[in-house]
Amino acid sequence: MGGRWKYSFTPQRLPNMVKRHVANPHIREPQRLQSVIVFEVPEDALPADHPARVLWTVIGGFDLSAFSAEVTSVAGDAGRP
């Protein structure tokens, strides 16, 4: 072929978009180092029939007030929860 093109590319055959020169095109590059915030619901982490749900139900019925008997920070007052 000797450096010649197989097809003839004459200016009249090219689309208008290709003919004009674009000095600085606006191109959005992908930002691969971005962080992603994911909102998860712990209740949805286990299937409805998972055995851990039985344990949650049993422990949820315990009286744990002895653990908070000496807590001085109460709702409506200053202090950390």
CA distance 41 to 33: 25
Most confidently modeled of 53-57, 69-73, 77-81?
A: 53-57
Q: pLDDT tens digit string along 11-51?
A: 555 555 555 665 777 788 888 888 889 899 988 888 999 99
Q: What is the pLDDT of residue 79?
A: 73
pTM score of the predicted model:
0.36
**The tokens of 21 are what?**
């020169």
Helices (H), 1-81: 16-19, 52-60
In this structure, what are the phi and psi dihedrals at residue 79, rounded to the nearest 5 degrees? 130, 155
